[in-house]
């Protein structure tokens, strides 16, 4: 058993998932279709995926609902969450690329896949039809996204969570992927570390609203 806050999570699978050649090929194809949106030719490594999964589970609000994953790609972090005891049935994955959505549907039974633009999360919320989520995991390439669009996406993500909710964001860069100083939200950004066993090395950040405040609208 692992514990998320006070909630025990059954260890449904213990083996760390290893990437399959078909995962890498599907990801590479996605990158060739849209290099900017996908961010790089390689999906998150198993080490990164496990660190991200643990960071999300540590931040998840017990009884908050499913985990919302933005930009799931071929699902390495989704699988790592399952390996850590959080089953795909309790994850909603938003992905813009239709072929990657098909891939997720085919390879992660039980996962709810929503094809759409995560930057328009406020509008997607009607389609997702959930009251709340316990944490948000974002693989969106925030460094390539306009700051106001990134802030709108984060605003909608925080509205989706009970007060105290967290967004776990990963990035190849060295600076906060969404700059709190350039955002109208009262963002509190915490650097959780860098996973060097990733191509390129990946930094992990946790965002909260300062003092748990909801964003001014």
- Terminal C-alpha separation, the chain: 40
List Cβ neighbours of 45 (8 Å cut-off, separation of 6 or more). 19, 76, 195, 197, 198, 199, 202
Our finding on whether 124 is near ligand SAM (CB under 6 A) is no
The nearest distance, CB 171 to ligand SAM, in angstroms, is 9
Instruction: Tell me phi and psi for residue 87, to 5 degrees.
Output: -70, 155
**Residue 117, both tokens:** 């633009």
H/E stretch holding 104: helix 98-107
Q: Which of 46, 64, 65, 76 binds ligand SAM (CB under 6 A)?
A: 76
The nearest distance, CB 110 to ligand SAM, in angstroms, is 18
Provide the total of helices (H) and of strands (E) in the chain, helices listed first.
7, 9
**Binding footprint of ligand SAM, residue count (CB under 6 A):** 22
Our finding on whether 79 is near ligand SAM (CB under 6 A) is no
Beta bridge partners of 8: 3
Cα(82)–Cα(26) distance, rounded to whole angstroms? 20
Our finding on whether 141 is near ligand SAM (CB under 6 A) is yes
Site string for ligand SAM, 85-104 (x = CB under 6 A): ---------xxxx--x----
Our finding on whether 84 is near ligand SAM (CB under 6 A) is no
**Residue 115, both tokens:** 């094809």
Cα(127)–Cα(114) distance, rounded to whole angstroms? 8
The nearest distance, CB 26 to ligand SAM, in angstroms, is 10
Our finding on whether 112 is near ligand SAM (CB under 6 A) is no
CB under 6 A: which stretch of 1-9, 114-122, 186-194, 209-217 binds ligand SAM? 114-122
Instruction: Let me know: does 19 contact 43? Beta carbons within 8 Å.
Output: yes
Q: Which of 80, 136, 140, 204 binds ligand SAM (CB under 6 A)?
A: 140
Which residues sit at the interface with ligand SAM, rule CB under 6 A?
A: 30, 37-39, 43-44, 71-73, 76-77, 94-97, 100, 117-119, 139-141
């Amino acid at each position: 058993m692992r514990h998320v806050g006070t909630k025990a999570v059954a260890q449904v699978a213990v083996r760390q998932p290893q990437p399959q050649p078909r995962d890498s090929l599907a990801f590479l194809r996605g990158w060739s279709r849209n290099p900017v949106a996908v961010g790089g030719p390689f999906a998150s490594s198993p080490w990164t995926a496990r660190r991200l999964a643990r960071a999300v589970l540590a931040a998840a609000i017990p009884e908050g609902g499913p985990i919302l994953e933005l930009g799931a790609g071929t699902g390495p972090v989704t699988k790592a969450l399952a390996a850590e005891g959080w089953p795909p049935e309790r994850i909603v994955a938003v992905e813009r690329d239709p072929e990657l959505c098909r891939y997720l549907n085919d390879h992660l039974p039980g996962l709810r896949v929503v094809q759409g633009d995560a930057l328009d999360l406020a509008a997607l919320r009607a389609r997702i039809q959930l009251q709340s989520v316990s944490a948000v995991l974002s693989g969106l390439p925030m460094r390539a996204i306009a700051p106001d669009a990134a802030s709108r996406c984060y605003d909608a993500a925080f509205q989706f969570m009970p007060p105290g909710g967290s967004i776990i964001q990963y990035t190849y860069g060295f600076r906060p992927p969404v700059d709190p100083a350039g955002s109208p939200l009262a963002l509190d950004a915490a650097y959780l570390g860098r996973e060097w066993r990733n191509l390129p090395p990946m930094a992990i950040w946790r965002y909260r609203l300062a003092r748990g405040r909801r964003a001014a609208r």
